[in-house]
Amino acid sequence: MADFSGVFPILATPFRDDESVDEASLRRLVGFMADLGVEGVTVLGVLGEANRMGEREREAIVRAAVDAAGGRVSVIVGVSHPGTRATVELGTMAAELGADALMVAPSAEPVPSEARVAEYFARVCAGVSLPVVLQDHPASTGVHMSVPTIARIVGENPGVDCVKAEAVPSAAKIEALSAALPRRVPMLTGLGALYGQFDLEKGSSGYNTGFAFPEVLQAHLAAWRSGDRALARRIWAHFLPLIVFEQQPGVAVRKEILRRRGLLASGAVRHPGTALGAGSAAQLTEWLEFTMPGVDIRRPIDVAAIVGA
């Protein structure tokens, strides 16, 4: 079984200014993450603007990510699709391209049914060869999965090896799932790390989210695991203004940070997504300086030094 403990950044999909896929930046992004020593990366999630991509582009992205990862980090691929069969096909394609795991969320149907959601996962797990990260993110899917339904899905499908716990209140849901799941599976924190410290305290095994400074999440998790709760809290609290800044809707904020970090050639977002306004860009400059004065973000940042640990 794959081990989904640790830090698994969700990657933005780099575009050129004309919105075409920028593979060179993607490879740079994957390489940067691998150099940081994260456990894996996820492509084609919400932050990856997966819903605005064509299938050939999806294929190219998976191929490039797997190649750039070079076995140093695992590659998780978002394959959620309103059609069950299409989800399986996307999952099969990902497997053939060498991906290590799949991220799967259910889709909203006109007549919602938790039983049918369970069927969806059963069919997907039966149809694919890779481990599955069950994504519980009602804010983007419109699907609310109850604790018993998630427990049932985990119980019935050995392939579900991880829960990405993004249904608020996430800490309370992680706590409830810990008691209800028929077998232990890691639960990872998403939502841009907004509730990261609270989730860890209730049993989260790490991060699977797009915060643009994964080295912060690594340091946070390491401090937590070492038993130094005070340090863990200080780290998370120190970067919380940036975490909150990124909560503003649209993926443009994060892409701009990644651009400033030298990872993306352009911060372009695909239409109809919105670009970052000049006012927000100026705010970002000030907040980066406030949070880590004088730090060169083009290199991995030294979290301990920044928080004064």
Judged by the rule CB under 8 A, the positions of this chain that interact with a copy of itself are: 19, 49, 51-56, 81-86, 89-90, 107, 109-117, 119-120, 123, 144, 146, 167-169, 171-172, 175, 194-195, 197-198, 201-202, 230, 233, 236-237, 240-241, 244-245, 247-250, 270-274, 277, 279-280, 283, 286, 290
As measured in angstroms, the least distance from the Cβ of 31 to a copy of itself is 26
As measured in angstroms, the least distance from the Cβ of 111 to a copy of itself is 6
Would you say 35 or 108 has its CB closer to a copy of itself?
A: 108
Would you say 41 or 88 has its CB closer to a copy of itself?
A: 88
Would you say 74 or 170 has its CB closer to a copy of itself?
A: 170
As measured in angstroms, the least distance from the Cβ of 151 to a copy of itself is 14
As measured in angstroms, the least distance from the Cβ of 196 to a copy of itself is 10
As measured in angstroms, the least distance from the Cβ of 280 to a copy of itself is 6
Residue 271: how many CA atoms within 13 Å on its side-chain side? 3
As measured in angstroms, the least distance from the Cβ of 17 to a copy of itself is 13
3-state secondary structure the chain: CCCCCEECCECCCCECCCCCECHHHHHHHHHHHHHHCCCEEEECCCCCCHHHCCHHHHHHHHHHHHHHHCCCCEEEEECCCCCHHHHHHHHHHHHHCCCCEEEECCCCCCCCCHHHHHHHHHHHHHHCCCCEEEEECHHHHCCCCCHHHHHHHHHHCCCEEEEEECCCCHHHHHHHHHHHCCCCCCEEECHHHCCHHHHHHHCCCEECCCCCCHHHHHHHHHHHHCCCHHHHHHHHHHHHHHHHHHHCCCCHHHHHHHHHCCCCCCCCCCCCCCCCCHHHHHHHHHHHHHHCCCCCCCCCCCHHHHHCC
